């Protein structure tokens, strides 16, 4: 925190001295480290080159502190309408302080250097395939390029809920207890066989069968848990079926099984404690199964690249982009990273992910331009060197592609 404050003071001093470029680079470094730094975003709005970037900075300030009057006045100067709110209480004028920026809000508008640079699918208004960014229409049942189905059922929750996560942990604990139960049973039977209560030949057969039974059942249950973690609908219904069979078998054995006295082998309190534990365990199993039902609900969706306009936090936008990339929806991931870069212009990590997305989707010029932006904004020499190397490799590929397309 002390380093951030020192950087902020240095940036403010540079801005007041007229060294806008130095102040801009320092402020970018600060917001990259701490995206909730209200003062840094406020000063950064005075060092950017375009009205669009200034609007983003001021909106970020209001996202952190909705009562920031300087940001509100700045947005009003830019012609951005603000939601109506009750008028603030009058405040006395204060002398200029280092934590309040001074800049001319009437700077002439400058063209965004990254606007209208490319004439491709991203600059058009066409719907794009969520996977490969191929322009598609409602008539397409499959993407003309990647051949993926354009209409499919998607989870209503993009991320796993805590109910599913708790259920997975609960099932994992159940697997461990199951192994301990089988091992304990093995030692009990071994003890009885050693005291001639059970024939030794029968025990040898039992010893083989019990380990085979453990291996098979454990593989099935653990595999089912893994499938549940990845939210497979068939696994959920199979888990419900298994749970119903356990409940029915327990009720049936309690009603129709002949009574057996276990007190000859185990103390009464052990039997009561084990029975209570088993009942509580099954009740919890039913609870977690019911609560996780929402994770397995699907709804029919048209698989085009769209971004949730309600999401404004750069960190959330970046995380959503990474999740869609893991699912192979690179075009959707790129849209989220584009929005994250707009909200946090100095985030080099997001710029690098955006460049990777462009490259994977076959837009090398955009990838190269994004890497160039990232290299200009980073202050880390090692990162700058890596980005330069990536740009050189990408340039070589572009040159090779141009040679291959040139008719001989």
Q: Mean pLDDT in the chain?
A: 81
**Tens of pLDDT, residues 61-96:** 888 888 888 888 888 887 777 655 544 444 444 444
Beta bridge partners of 302: 151
Taking residues 256-262, what's their average pLDDT? 58
Q: Give the model's pLDDT for residue 89.
A: 46
Rounded Cα gap, residues 299 and 331, in angstroms:
20
Tokens of residue 340, six digits: 């994250």
Question: Which one is predicted more confidently, 4 or 180?
Answer: 180
Task: Name the superfamily (CATH) of residues 308-405.
Answer: Tetratricopeptide repeat domain (1.25.40.10)
Taking residues 139-147, what's their average pLDDT? 90
Tokens of residue 272, six digits: 């009561």
What's the CATH number for 2-77? 1.25.40.10
Beta bridge partners of 136: 127
Mention every residue, 6+ apart, whose C-beta is less than 8 A from residue 348.
Answer: 32, 374, 377, 378, 383
Nearest CA to 249 out of 209, 278, 206 is that of 278
Question: Which one is predicted more confidently, 289 or 400?
Answer: 289
**Tens of pLDDT, residues 149-202:** 888 887 887 778 899 999 999 999 999 999 998 998 888 888 888 887 788 788
Beta bridge partners of 299: 154
Give yes or no on whether 2-77 and 308-405 have one common fold. yes
**Tens of pLDDT, residues 219-235:** 999 999 999 999 999 99
pLDDT exceeds cutoff 80 at 20: no
Most confident of 2-6, 106-110, 142-146: 142-146
pLDDT exceeds cutoff 80 at 265: no
Taking residues 264-275, what's their average pLDDT? 66
pLDDT exceeds cutoff 50 at 365: yes
pLDDT exceeds cutoff 60 at 291: yes
Q: Where are the domains of the chain?
A: 2-77, 162-296, 308-405
Taking residues 310-335, what's their average pLDDT? 89
Nearest CA to 67 out of 83, 79, 52 is that of 83
Q: Give the model's pLDDT for residue 106.
A: 39
Percent of the chain with pLDDT over 90: 27
Tokens of residue 160, six digits: 């796993």
Beta bridge partners of 298: 155
Question: Which one is predicted more confidently, 365 or 103?
Answer: 365
Q: Give the model's pLDDT for residue 99.
A: 42
Percent of the chain with pLDDT over 70: 84
- For residues 307 and 332, the answer to whether their CB atoms sit within 8 Å is yes
Nearest CA to 349 out of 101, 35, 1 is that of 35
pLDDT exceeds cutoff 70 at 289: yes
Beta strands 151-155; 135-136: pairing state? unpaired
Question: Which one is predicted more confidently, 249 or 106?
Answer: 249
**Tens of pLDDT, residues 198-217:** 887 888 888 889 899 999 99
């Amino acid at each position: 925190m002390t380093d951030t404050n020192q950087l902020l003071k240095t940036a403010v001093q540079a801005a007041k001295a007229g060294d806008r470029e130095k102040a801009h680079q320092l402020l970018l470094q600060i917001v990259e480290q701490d995206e909730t730094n209200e003062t840094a975003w406020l000063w950064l709005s005075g060092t950017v080159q375009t009205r669009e970037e200034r609007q983003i900075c001021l909106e970020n300030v209001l996202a952190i502190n909705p009562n920031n009057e300087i940001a509100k006045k700045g947005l009003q100067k830019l012609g951005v309408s603000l939601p109506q709110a009750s008028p603030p209480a009058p405040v006395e004028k204060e002398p200029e302080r280092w934590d309040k920026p001074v800049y001319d809000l009437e700077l002439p508008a400058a063209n965004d250097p990254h606007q209208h640079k490319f004439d491709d699918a991203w600059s058009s208004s066409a719907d794009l395939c969520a996977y490969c960014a191929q322009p598609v229409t409602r008539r397409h049942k499959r993407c003309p390029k990647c051949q993926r189905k354009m209409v499919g059922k998607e989870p209503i929750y993009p991320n796993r809920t805590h109910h599913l996560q708790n259920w997975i942990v609960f099932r994992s604990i159940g697997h461990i207890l199951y192994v301990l139960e089988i091992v304990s049973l093995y030692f009990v039977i071994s003890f009885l066989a050693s005291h001639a209560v059970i024939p030794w030949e029968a025990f040898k057969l039992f010893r083989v069968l019990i380990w085979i039974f453990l291996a098979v059942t454990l593989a099935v249950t653990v595999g089912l848990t893994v499938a549940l973690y990845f939210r497979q609908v068939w696994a959920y219904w199979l888990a419900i079926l298994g749970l119903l069979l356990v409940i029915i078998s327990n009720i049936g054995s309690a009603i129709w099984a002949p009574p057996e006295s276990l007190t000859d082998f185990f103390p009464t309190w052990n039997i009561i404690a084990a029975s209570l534990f088993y009942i509580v365990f099954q009740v919890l199993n039913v609870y977690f199964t019911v609560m996780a039902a929402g994770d397995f609900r699907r709804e029919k969706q048209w698989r085009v690249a769209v971004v949730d306009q309600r999401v404004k936090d750069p960190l959330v936008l970046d995380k959503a982009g990474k999740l869609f990339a893991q699912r192979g929806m690179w075009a959707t991931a790129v849209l989220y990273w584009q929005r994250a870069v707009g909200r946090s212009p100095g985030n080099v990590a997001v710029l690098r992910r955006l460049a990777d997305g462009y490259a994977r989707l076959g837009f090398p010029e955009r990838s190269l331009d994004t890497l160039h932006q990232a290299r200009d904004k980073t202050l880390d020499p090692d990162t700058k060197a890596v980005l330069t190397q990536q740009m050189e490799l990408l340039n070589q590929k572009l040159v090779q592609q141009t040679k291959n397309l040139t008719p001989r």
